[in-house]
Structure formats: structure tokens, C-alpha cells
Chains A and B, each alone.
Chain A
Amino acid sequence: MTLADRTIAALAGDIGRAGVTSERITEACLQRIVDLNPRLNAFITVLADAALAAARQADHEIAAGRRRGALHGIPLSLKDLLDLAGTATTAGSRVRADHRATRDAVVTAHLKEAGAVIVGKTNLHEFAFGTTTEDSAFGPARHPLDDTRSPGGSSGGSAIAVRTGMCIGTVGTDTGGSIRIPAAACGIVGLKPAWGEVSDDGVVPLSAQLDHVGPLARSVTDAWLLYESMLGRHQAPGARLEAAPASTLRLGLPRTYYMARLDPEVGRVLEAALATLRKAGVAIDDVPLPSAGDIAPVYLHLVLSDAAAYHADTLERRPGDYTPNVRHRLELGRYVLAEDYVRALRGRAVLRAEVNRALDGRHALVLPALGIPAPPLGAATVDVEGGPEPVRNLMLRCTQLFNLTSHPAITIPCGATSSGLPVGLQLAGPPTRDLLAIAHGVEALFAHA
């Protein structure tokens, strides 16, 4: 294992000792970018010189005893939807080709305060309006384990970068699952905090009422360290996230809706993961979500309308600068009637109340993060139990509920298909700090399974 493949927690313990320096870690990540990015297309902008300068500065400060925290000297990336002063925030689009950020997003500023080293800006589905990272002005991103497949999206480049050691951790955004979907597809951890918890100031919106900013990482502890720093609460090296004891956990499984329409192999991996939890003493019972069938229509009417409003001016002036599929979906949003938007808002409140009821007496909900393995690039539909289904519907199916309800949600790797494609298990519901403790406990069970 090289420096580029280690966790933030491990590197934070070693940096400044035994020849481990921020400069060496950063060089290892930059070399990984040189080696892999031409094939995987994870990065839109690589900031090699600036990153190495920041790494040397971090090493100088650490050597002088001015350690800022666990992220000090750690190479990170940013989804190219977040402002980094002096660079373009392209959002994966030609529409923003002339953009140049004049200041940092609040999250970017917090990570800089923590002493993180920003190695670059990652590829995404254009304007975060898609789940495969295929429709980008900078070309499609490719799955790190099978480059004929999508890494998921919209934070696809971010997930690739963490999985392959192009950086140690990253920041993504999640409007319907855009952190959790690529994290699950690529076999890493992805956290969507509660809505509004992490600032979206300086982040290009898709739907402000559904957008969330959060981390993608190699472990739950790393996700916690990133999340804390994104809030400006920089944890010390060696800080520990307490794990919830498995034998005390009570989880609710909305089985009827979420364990249906799965890829059969993914379904078997998930059932095995649930069996692992039960064997460790986790109590899991089925819970109803009576309106689960309404999630997709409610989500669609909100996200289409919000996105169309944000893009209204450029859709008129520069329609040809969008990738065709994203342009079509944005134009579709202009046809949603106000009365249906209001109905969707009502549905959102109903769904939020149903999730709260499902959580009553339970620590969290447990469900798939992604019901299919990473899909082939270009696939419009894939086969699941019950017949073929559009890829976009399937990829959003397990995640979009918690964007509507604002509850925190996290995906952790729980196994792989026979061809080695990762499968993610999702936990959702309690306040983010509690959710991270639960996820940390569950993660340990899979590590020992």
C-alpha cells in the first residue's frame, strides 16, 4: 500500500514522522493522476504546482509545531461545482467556460483553514443533473474497476479519485443521490448530511431545496473528519469517532419498496449484509413507507422546476453550450405546471412525516444505496427483477427519498458482485453525528465478516 492508498486517519497519525510528509503524499496522489486520469477522466483541473506548494507549506508548519488538525497536509479534491478562488468552476459545462471564481466556497475555505491540500477539481455530470457522469463537456468519467462502465454520478470523478488514490478524500454534492450513488458504485463511503448543515455558499445549485454538500472517503472515520472540517470544526490528529455497539442497534428496513427492483446479484449481497448485521445482534424489522411509490414523481416535479428556473437565462441565450441530454431535461422543467409543483411540495412533507414515523423507536433505516452494479456506459436501461428499467430511475431509486425529507444518509461498502463490482448499504435518519457512529459500528462488522 502506498501513501496514496491510505486513509486520512492513518496519514494524520504518521504525517511529520518516519519520513511521511505532505509533500510525499501529494506527490504520490499527483503521480496517480498522471497514471490513471487519461483513462478514467476523473479530473477537469489538476493543480499540481499549487498543491505541491501548499504541501510544502503544511510540512513547514507541522515541523514548526503548528499542526492545524487531522486534515493538515492531506491531499483532497473538490467536485467542480464548488468555488476555489482563482480557478474556473466549470460544473462540467461549456456554459461556464469563462467562469473564474473570485473567492472560495465556504466549504473550500474551511478545508483550507484545516490545512488541506487541494490537488484539483473533479469531473461530474453536467451541472450535477445526472447519475452517470457521462454527460460532461469534458468527456465521460469511467469506472475505476471496469472502464466500460459508469462510476455513477453526478460526483463520479470525485468517487474515482478517492477510490484510486488520486486524492485521499473529496467533497461532493447530492441532490438526489449524487454523493451516495458514485460512492456505492465505486466501493467507498459517501455521506449526505442533513439539509442545510453544510454550507452551499459558493456551490453551483441544481435545486437549492434538495442540494446537500458532503464528503466521499475511504472509511466512515475519514468521512467524519471531512464532515467536521467542512463545518469548521477541525478534529485533532488521533481524534476518534465512537462506534455505536451493534448489539444495541435497532434498524428499520423499508423492504417492500427498497428490496424490490434490484439486480439479483446486488440483492443477494445486500441480504448477506443484513444477515451479517443480524448475526452481530442488530435488530432489523420491516417498516412501512406507505407513499414510497410517490417518491419519484414528487422528486421529479421539484428538481425539474428548480433546475429550469436556475438555467432559464442560459437556456435561452446559449442552449447549444449544454450537452444534449442535460439540455433536454432542463427544457422539460419549463413545462411543469405550478399546480403540480405545489402538489409535489405537499408530497415532500408527507414523505418526511412517513420517514419520521418509520424511525420511531429505531436508531436508523437500513436499505440499499444503489440497486444495480455500476451500469455500462451508454446504457439506457438495465435488467432488474421485474424486467428492464431506465438506468436513471434505478440509480435514483434508493437515494432520492432522503433529499426530499432532508434526513442524513450514508452509504458504506458491504460486498461485491461476482465480477467484483461494489455494492453499498445505506443507513439513514438520525442526526449526522449519530448516523456516523452507527455507520462506524456497521462498517466494523463488514470488515470482520
Chain B
Amino acid sequence: MTVDRWLEAARADAERRGRPELLPLLDGLAGATRALRAAAWLDKADGPTPRPPAADAEADGR
């Protein structure tokens, strides 16, 4: 699910439940989720074969 679709659904849910106080917090969480998903270390199905972080460290000579 894209962040935009998730945010739209979450905002609708909060409003339906009468919790408008959550709307700015959901906007903030959406920003954090976008940042998380943009992280350089994230594995992706069309990317390189994943390696565990410990293997990353070994590859660096530790």
C-alpha cells in the first residue's frame, strides 16, 4: 500500500470515529513512513539479493 493511500484511509477512519485530533499526527506519521521507505538500506524485490547487517559488517573487514 502506498503511503498516500494509507494516509487517505487512516484519515477517513479517524474522522469516522470522531477523532479529528489524530489528523495532524497521522500527517506526521506519514512523513516518517515516507522517510522509512526511502531508506537506502531497504531491501526491494527488484534489487540486489539481501544480505544481513552482520554480513555487511564482515564485508567491511570487521
Interface residues of A (CB under 8 A from B): 290-291, 293-294, 296-298, 300-301, 304, 324, 328-329, 331-332, 335-337, 339-340, 343-344, 346-347, 349-350, 352-353, 356-357, 360
Once bound together, how far apart are the Cα atoms of A293 and B32, in whole Å? 11
Once bound together, how far apart are the Cα atoms of A300 and B32, in whole Å? 8
Contact with A291, one of B6, B22, B25, B41 (Cβ below 8 angstroms)? B41
- List of A residues within 8 angstroms of B54 by Cβ: 353
- List of B residues within 8 angstroms of A293 by Cβ: 35
Q: Is B45 located at the chain interface by the 8 A CB criterion? A: no
Q: Are B57 and A335 in contact (CB under 8 A)?
A: no
Which residue from chain B places its CB closest to the CB of A327 in the assembled complex? B21
- List of B residues within 8 angstroms of A347 by Cβ: 36, 39, 41-42
Chain B min CB distance to A192 (Å): 22
Q: Are B33 and A297 in contact (CB under 8 A)?
A: yes
11 pairs across A/B with beta carbons < 8 Å?
A: A291-B41, A298-B39, A324-B21, A328-B22, A328-B25, A343-B37, A343-B42, A349-B52, A349-B53, A350-B41, A356-B62
Q: List which B8-61 residues lie within 8 A (CB) of chain A.
A: 10, 13, 19, 21-22, 25-26, 29, 32-33, 35-37, 39-43, 52-54, 56-57, 60
Once bound together, how far apart are the Cα atoms of A349 and B54, in whole Å? 8
- List of B residues within 8 angstroms of A328 by Cβ: 21-22, 25
Q: Are A300 and B53 in contact (CB under 8 A)?
A: no
Q: Decide yes or no: A291 and B37 within 8 Å by CB, A300-B32, A301-B32, A352-B53 being known contacts.
A: no
Interface of chain A, main secondary structure: helix
- List of A residues within 8 angstroms of B1 by Cβ: 337, 339
Chain A min CB distance to B29 (Å): 6
Which residue from chain A places its CB closest to the CB of B52 in the assembled complex? A349
Once bound together, how far apart are the Cα atoms of A301 and B3, in whole Å? 14
Q: Decide yes or no: A332 and B25 within 8 Å by CB, A300-B32, A347-B36, A357-B62 being known contacts.
A: yes
Q: Are A298 and B36 in contact (CB under 8 A)?
A: yes
**Known contacts A294-B36, A335-B10, A347-B36, then 16 further A-B pairs from the complex at CB < 8 Å, ordered by chain A residue:** A290-B40, A293-B35, A297-B32, A297-B33, A300-B32, A301-B33, A335-B6, A343-B36, A343-B37, A343-B42, A347-B39, A349-B53, A350-B41, A350-B56, A357-B60, A357-B62
Which residue from chain B places its CB closest to the CB of A390 in the assembled complex? B28
Once bound together, how far apart are the Cα atoms of A339 and B33, in whole Å? 10
Which residue from chain B places its CB closest to the CB of A324 in the assembled complex? B21
Which residue from chain A places its CB closest to the CB of B11 in the assembled complex? A335
Chain B min CB distance to A390 (Å): 9
Once bound together, how far apart are the Cα atoms of A350 and B36, in whole Å? 13
Chain A min CB distance to B27 (Å): 11
Q: Are B37 and A340 in contact (CB under 8 A)?
A: yes
Q: Decide yes or no: A346 and B42 within 8 Å by CB, A301-B32, A356-B62 being known contacts.
A: yes
The 3 closest A-B pairs by CB, nearest first: A353-B53, A297-B36, A297-B32
Which residue from chain A places its CB closest to the CB of B29 in the assembled complex? A332
Q: Are B35 and A297 in contact (CB under 8 A)?
A: yes
Chain A min CB distance to B57 (Å): 5
- List of A residues within 8 angstroms of B25 by Cβ: 328-329, 332
Once bound together, how far apart are the Cα atoms of A196 and B52, in whole Å? 23
Chain A min CB distance to B18 (Å): 11
Q: Are B33 and A340 in contact (CB under 8 A)?
A: yes
- List of A residues within 8 angstroms of B21 by Cβ: 324, 328
Chain B min CB distance to A168 (Å): 40
- List of A residues within 8 angstroms of B56 by Cβ: 350, 353
Q: Are A346 and B22 in contact (CB under 8 A)?
A: no
Contact with A335, one of B26, B35, B39, B41 (Cβ below 8 angstroms)? B26
- List of A residues within 8 angstroms of B60 by Cβ: 357
- List of B residues within 8 angstroms of A343 by Cβ: 36-37, 39, 42
Once bound together, how far apart are the Cα atoms of A62 and B33, in whole Å? 57
Once bound together, how far apart are the Cα atoms of A186 and B9, in whole Å? 43
Q: Are A336 and B29 in contact (CB under 8 A)?
A: yes
Q: Are B19 and A301 in contact (CB under 8 A)?
A: no
Q: Are B35 and A294 in contact (CB under 8 A)?
A: yes
Which residue from chain A places its CB closest to the CB of B37 in the assembled complex? A343
Once bound together, how far apart are the Cα atoms of A294 and B37, in whole Å? 10
Chain B min CB distance to A439 (Å): 25
- List of A residues within 8 angstroms of B52 by Cβ: 349
Q: Are B57 and A357 in contact (CB under 8 A)?
A: yes
- List of A residues within 8 angstroms of B37 by Cβ: 340, 343
